[in-house]
Structures are given as C-alpha cells and as structure tokens.
C-alpha cells in the first residue's frame, strides 16, 4: 500500500508565503512611469511595450500565486483540523 506524509503546518506556511509573494508582485510600481528615462526616440515606446507586457504577465502570475497560496493555506488548515480530530478520537477526547 502506498502512503505519504503531509506536514500540515508546512503546507499552511507555503500557502502564506505564496500569498505574500503574490502581494509583492502585484504591488510593484507602474513601469510606464520610467519611460521618460529613454527620451523621445524609438527606444521609449519599445521599452514601454516591453514593460507593459511584463506588467501584464506579472499581474497574471500574482493572481495565480494568490490562488495557489490560498488553496495551500486552506489545505494546510484542513489537514491540521483533521489531525486534531483524529487525535481526539484516538485519545478518547471530545469529538
């Protein structure tokens, strides 16, 4: 029979760390504000396009990480609750 061990606290902590990372990515500054540094030539619009694509990808990644983080935090909490319930039942405590 195959078995595996889940460290519920670690799963919960990973979820919290993913949510924190997502918040950091989502909160990064607007790259369009830095376009002025490239002057009026062709590089300004090219950099703006590049940074706009990065911003879009960054926000999508932040949204995905937030979802994964919330799911991991929920799963970790569910494992902790389950472990506590099993422990109470085995130990004869209140269910």
7: left (phi over 0), alpha (psi -120 to 50) or beta: beta
Q: What value does the mean pLDDT take over residues 79-90?
A: 84
Residues contacting 61, CB < 8 A, separation 6+: 22, 25
Per-residue pLDDT tens digits for 25-69: 888 877 667 777 777 788 878 887 888 788 889 999 999 999 999
Domains of the chain: which residue ranges?
8-81
Instruction: State residue 27's pLDDT score.
Output: 87
- Total residue length of the chain: 95
Q: What pLDDT shows up at residue 63?
A: 94
Half-sphere exposure of 78 (CA within 13 A, CB side): 7
* pLDDT at residue number 76: 83
Is the confidence at residue 93, as pLDDT, over 70? Answer: no
């Amino acid at each position: 029979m195959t078995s595996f061990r889940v460290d519920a606290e670690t799963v919960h902590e990973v979820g919290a760390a993913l949510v924190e990372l997502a918040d950091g990515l989502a909160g990064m500054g607007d790259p369009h504000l830095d376009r002025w540094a490239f002057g009026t030539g062709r590089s300004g619009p090219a950099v703006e396009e590049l940074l706009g694509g990065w911003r879009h990808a960054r926000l999508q990644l932040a949204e995905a990480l937030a979802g994964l983080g919330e799911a991991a935090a929920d799963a970790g909490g569910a494992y902790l609750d389950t472990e506590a319930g099993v422990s109470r039942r085995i130990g004869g405590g209140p269910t």
